[in-house]
C-alpha cells in the first residue's frame, strides 16, 4: 500500500477536514477516515478523542468496532467454503444445523446471506428470548431460540428483511463445517492471511488489554456516555469485529485479487437478491448495492456498542472510503458518510 498522493488533491483533503470539523471538536469522541485509490492511500486522518476521561486523541492507528460492516467477512468465509465444495448456496440451513428441523431450517444459505430468508431480527423479540436463557447469551442460545420458532416473518425468498440472526446462524454453519470457533476461522482464514494484525473478533481479551482501542460513547453531544459492554457481546457472525483503517485497507486490496477467493467466486457477492416473484433486492453477500451518478458501488455500514462505521467500494474506479466513529450520535449519513467522502475524490480524480 503506497502513500504517494497527487498535489492536486490538497483541496479535497481540506474539504474532508472541514466536513469532520463541523461535527467533531478536539474535545469530543470522533472519527478516523481513509480513502484509497489504485492501492494508494490518498488520505487518512483522525479527529477528536479516543478516551474522553484521559483526553487521548484519536489516531489513524486506533481500533474500532465495525459492527455490521463485518458481515462481508462472514460472507467471505461462506464463499470460501463454497469454493472448497464444503457447502452450496442453495443448501437448506437444516443441512448443517439439523436441530432446526422446523420452519427456521427451511431457508437457504443464499437467502440468509441476502436477508431474504424471512428470519427475525432483534426487534422481533429475540433479545428478550435470549436474555431469558442467559445473562450472556451465545450463538448456541440463538440456535435454541430459533429451534422453537413455528413461523417466520415471511416465507423464505418472499421479501427482503434485514436479519442479524441470519448471520449469527451462518457463523454456526461455519463452525459445524470447520470444527473451529467462528472467531478462530476469521483469524486463520482472513486476518492472518492478509496480515491484519490489529483485527480480531469478539469475544477476545484484546478488547480489554489493547491501549490502542478507541473507547465508544452513546447519548448526545452534550452528555456523551461511555458504552463499555453489552449483554450480547458474546454473539458473533452479524458484527463482532474490531479493526483499524490500515487493516481494512489490506482487506480492501485483497478483494481485487484471488488471495481469499477467486474473482469468479467473489463476483457473486455483488449480485442482487432475486425474490420469489422475480423482483430484485439491492443486497448481495454481506454487501449493500447502490448507484451514485451512474456508477455502481458496494458498501456496508455498522452501528453497535457506541460505534458507527461505513465502507464504500467503487470497484470500477478502484476507489474506497472507510469511516470509523467512536460514537453513535450526531452522525451525518445522507448520503451515506463514506460515499460522501469517496465522491469528493472521485470528482477530482475524473
From 3.40.50.1100, 3.30.420.40, 3.40.710.10, 3.40.50.1970, which CATH number describes the 7-349 domain? Answer: 3.40.710.10
Beta pairing, strands 319-325 & 31-37: antiparallel
88: part of which helix (H) or strand (E)? none
- Residue 8 CB burial class (10 angstroms; 0-12, 13-18, ≥19): exposed
Best CA proximity match to 297, nearest among 246, 249, 341, 236 = 341
- The domains of the chain are located at 7-349
350 residues of the chain, pLDDT tens digit each: 555 556 689 999 999 999 999 999 999 999 999 999 999 999 999 999 999 999 999 999 999 999 999 999 999 999 999 999 999 999 999 999 999 999 999 999 999 999 999 999 999 999 999 999 999 999 999 999 999 988 999 999 999 999 999 999 999 999 999 999 999 999 999 999 999 999 999 998 777 778 899 999 999 999 999 998 999 999 999 999 999 999 999 999 999 999 999 999 999 999 999 999 999 999 999 999 999 989 999 999 999 999 999 999 999 999 999 999 999 998 888 889 999 999 999 998 87
Bridge partner residues of 313 (DSSP): 298, 320
The DSSP result for 209-276, as a single string, is: H-TTBPP-EEE-SSSEEE----TTTT--SSS-EEE-HHHHHHHHHHTTSSSSS-HHHHHGGGSPEE-T
* 203 preceded by a cis bond (ω within 30 of 0): yes
Amino acid at each position: 500500500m503506497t502513500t504517494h498522493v497527487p498535489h492536486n488533491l490538497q483541496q479535497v483533503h481540506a474539504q474532508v477536514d472541514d466536513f469532520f470539523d463541523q461535527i467533531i471538536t478536539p474535545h469530543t469522541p470522533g472519527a478516523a477516515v481513509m480513502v484509497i485509490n489504485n492501492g494508494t492511500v490518498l488520505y487518512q486522518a483522525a479527529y477528536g478523542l479516543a478516551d474522553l476521561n484521559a483526553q487521548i486523541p484519536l489516531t489513524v492507528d486506533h481500533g474500532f468496532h465495525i459492527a455490521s460492516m463485518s458481515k462481508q467477512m462472514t460472507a467471505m468465509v461462506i464463499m470460501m467454503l463454497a469454493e472448497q465444495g464444503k457447502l452450496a448456496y442453495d443448501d437448506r440451513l437444516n443441512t448443517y444445523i439439523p436441530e432446526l428441523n422446523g420452519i427456521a431450517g427451511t431457508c437457504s444459505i443464499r437467502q440468509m446471506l441476502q436477508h431474504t430468508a424471512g428470519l427475525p431480527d432483534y426487534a422481533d423479540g429475540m433479545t428478550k428470548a435470549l436474555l431469558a436463557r442467559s445473562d450472556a447469551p451465545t450463538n448456541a442460545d440463538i440456535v435454541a431460540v430459533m429451534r422453537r420458532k413455528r413461523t417466520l416473518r415471511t416465507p423464505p425468498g418472499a421479501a427482503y428483511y434485514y436479519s442479524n440472526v441470519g448471520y449469527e446462524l451462518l457463523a454456526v454453519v461455519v463452525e459445524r463445517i470447520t470444527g473451529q470457533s467462528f472467531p478462530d476461522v476469521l483469524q486463520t482464514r482472513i486476518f492472518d492471511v492478509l496480515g491484519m494484525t490489529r483485527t480480531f473478533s469478539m469475544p477476545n481479551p484484546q478488547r480489554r488489554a489493547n491501549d490502542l482501542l478507541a473507547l465508544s460513547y452513546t447519548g448526545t453531544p452534550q452528555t456523551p456516555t461511555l458504552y463499555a459492554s453489552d449483554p450480547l457481546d458474546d454473539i458473533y457472525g452479524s458484527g463482532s469485529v474490531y479493526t483499524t483503517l490500515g487493516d481494512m485497507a489490506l482487506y480492501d486490496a485483497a478483494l481485487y485479487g484471488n488471495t481469499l477467493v477467486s474473482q469468479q467466486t467473489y463476483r457473486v457477492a455483488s449480485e442482487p437478491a432475486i425474490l420469489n416473484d422475480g423482483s430484485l433486492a439491492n443486497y448481495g453477500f454481506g454487501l449493500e448495492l447502490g448507484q451514485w451518478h451512474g456508477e455502481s458501488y458496494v458498501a456496508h455500514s455498522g452501528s453497535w456498542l457506541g460505534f458507527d462505521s461505513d465502507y464504500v467500494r467503487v470497484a470500477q474506479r478502484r476507489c474506497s472510503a472507510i469511516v470509523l466513529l467512536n460514537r453513535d450520535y450526531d452522525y451525518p449519513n445522507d448520503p451515506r458518510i463514506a460515499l460522501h467522502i469517496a465522491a469528493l475524490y472521485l470528482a477530482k480524480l475524473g
